Amino acid sequence: MRGSLHLGKILGIPIQLHSSWFLIAILITWSLAVGYFPQTYAGWNVSAYWLVGAAASLLFFASVLIHELGHSVMALREDVPVKGITLFVFGGVAQIGREPPTAGAEFRIAIAGPLSSLGLAALFGGLGAALVDSPTLAAPLNYLARVNLLLVVFNMIPGFPLDGGRVLRAGLWALRGNLENATKWASRAGRMIAYGFIGVGIMQILLLGGFVNGLWLAFIGWFLKNAAESNYEQVRLRDMLRDVKARNVMTQECVTVPSGLALERLIEDHVLSSGQRCFFVADSGNTEGWITLNNLRGVPSELRHSLTTSQVMTRIDDALRVHPEDDVWNVLQQMEEHNVNQVPVLDNGSFLGMITRDNMLSNIRLRAELAA
């Protein structure tokens, strides 16, 4: 997620806080300090309620982090890369680099999170019972035991992309041997559950007067619906691009220009006159790099007459590049990971073409229309 604060790494996995996390952390702390704990444990002073509320809130998010670490560690054991874990307004999400290779791997990765939360519930419950004579210590522990149990129950709802939905997908995948079909049905279940959340939320707002709780349920439903649809489209896209290679989607329209060409001449003679958007830069027949409109945009207009192509080009050794036989799905993931809009296709050091987001999306649209 963009706009996230990097906290560090645990077991080599990057941990981030999205900006929305701060809002929900404040809201949870406030609700515990002025609502839950005063109603459950009367007679404390105000500072104690806030201190215990803040501690319980932080430990709650630590529990969410451990839940996501459960998924991530199991994913790594299954040789599935993990890009990172982000804590945000809805709790947390482990960003898995690709789909699990088998239904069994999917099941183990999905169930690892709830099992982690179940273990935390037992741990906090045991500690709370042991410290029953110290209410200020037992109170947050008992709360965390209950909330971790609720996390297990909520996440095991059989709707994609919740953990229960992934378990459902693993079962359907094992039975039918088709990941896309299993994802489609698990996503449908997820959308139905999402609409249920939205419906209950609207009922609470309109009929029961619970505006905040109703709004929150509807918001969760909306998020689950979008996530279910997005995950299905991603699997469908991957299936559509199966066996498609980089050479099938690259463009060969990038012309070669000399390394000493002034940017002003490049723009006048090539960009504006013929609409060219990418160029290979060569010196004595050896390609050194490439230039796209992004490179040109970063140069102030008053400097374009004095700077040359070699001074602003992206050098071969400094950027991502792919082989013509690379799978397009892997290329797309690499482009997303490196946040680039184009990538050159090279074979034994020779430039064959360029893959851009625009021509890749056009190719995907054509394949979708043909498959419809």
DSSP string, 34-95: IIIHHHHSTT--HHHHHHHHHHHHHHHHHHHHHHHHHHHHHHHHTT--EEEEEEETTEEEEE
The answer, yes or no, to whether residue 359 has pLDDT greater than 80, is no
Structure tokens that stand for 5 in this block: 């604060």
What's the one-letter identity of residue 293? L
Across residues 2-12, what is the average pLDDT? 84
The CA distance from 372 to 363, in Å, is 14
Lowest model confidence (mean pLDDT) among 150-159, 196-205, 303-312: 303-312
Decide: 358 and 340 in contact? Cβ < 8 Å: no
Across residues 282-305, what is the average pLDDT? 81
Lowest model confidence (mean pLDDT) among 20-24, 70-74, 115-119: 20-24
The answer, yes or no, to whether residue 2 has pLDDT greater than 70, is no
Residue 98: per-residue pLDDT: 81
Confidence of residue 288 (pLDDT cuts 50, 70, 90): confident
Decide: 109 and 38 in contact? Cβ < 8 Å: no
The CA distance from 57 to 27, in Å, is 9
Long-range residue pairs from 271-278, CB within 8 A, at least 24 positions apart, any chain: 271/296, 277/356, 278/251, 278/253, 278/254, 278/342, 278/354, 278/356
Across residues 131-157, what is the average pLDDT? 94
Give 200: exposed, middle or buried? Use CB within 10 Å, 0-12, 13-18, 19+.
middle
Per 3-state DSSP, what percentage of the chain is helix, strand, and coil (rounded to 5)? 65, 15, 20
Residue 141: per-residue pLDDT: 95
Confidence of residue 298 (pLDDT cuts 50, 70, 90): confident
Element (H, E) at 263: helix 263-266
68 catalytic? Reply is yes
Q: Catalytic one among 68, 180, 229, 253?
A: 68
What's the one-letter identity of residue 95? Q
Please, what is the Cα angle at 365 between 362 and 369, to 5 degrees? 140
Residue 324: per-residue pLDDT: 85
Nearest to residue 143, comparing CAs of 69, 49, 211? 49
The CA distance from 76 to 99, in Å, is 12
Residue 120: per-residue pLDDT: 97
Decide: 259 and 265 in contact? Cβ < 8 Å: no
Residue 326: per-residue pLDDT: 87
- Using DSSP bridges, classify how beta strands 4-10 and 13-18 pair: parallel, antiparallel or unpaired: antiparallel
- The tens digit of pLDDT for each residue in 41-50 reads 988 999 999 9
Residue 76: per-residue pLDDT: 95
Residue with the bigger pLDDT between 289 and 185: it is: 185
The answer, yes or no, to whether residue 20 has pLDDT greater than 90, is no
The CA distance from 1 to 5, in Å, is 10
The answer, yes or no, to whether residue 1 has pLDDT greater than 60, is no
Residue 239: per-residue pLDDT: 79
Residue 208: per-residue pLDDT: 80
Rg (CA), the chain: 26
Confidence of residue 3 (pLDDT cuts 50, 70, 90): low
Across residues 338-353, what is the average pLDDT? 78
- Using DSSP bridges, classify how beta strands 13-18 and 342-347 pair: parallel, antiparallel or unpaired: unpaired
CA atoms within 13 A on the CB side of 358: 5
Distance from the Cα of residue 125 to its chain's centroid? 32
Confidence of residue 229 (pLDDT cuts 50, 70, 90): confident
For the chain, the average pLDDT equals 87
- The tens digit of pLDDT for each residue in 153-180 reads 999 999 888 999 999 999 999 999 988 8
Residue with the bigger pLDDT between 268 and 71: it is: 71
The answer, yes or no, to whether residue 280 has pLDDT greater than 90, is no
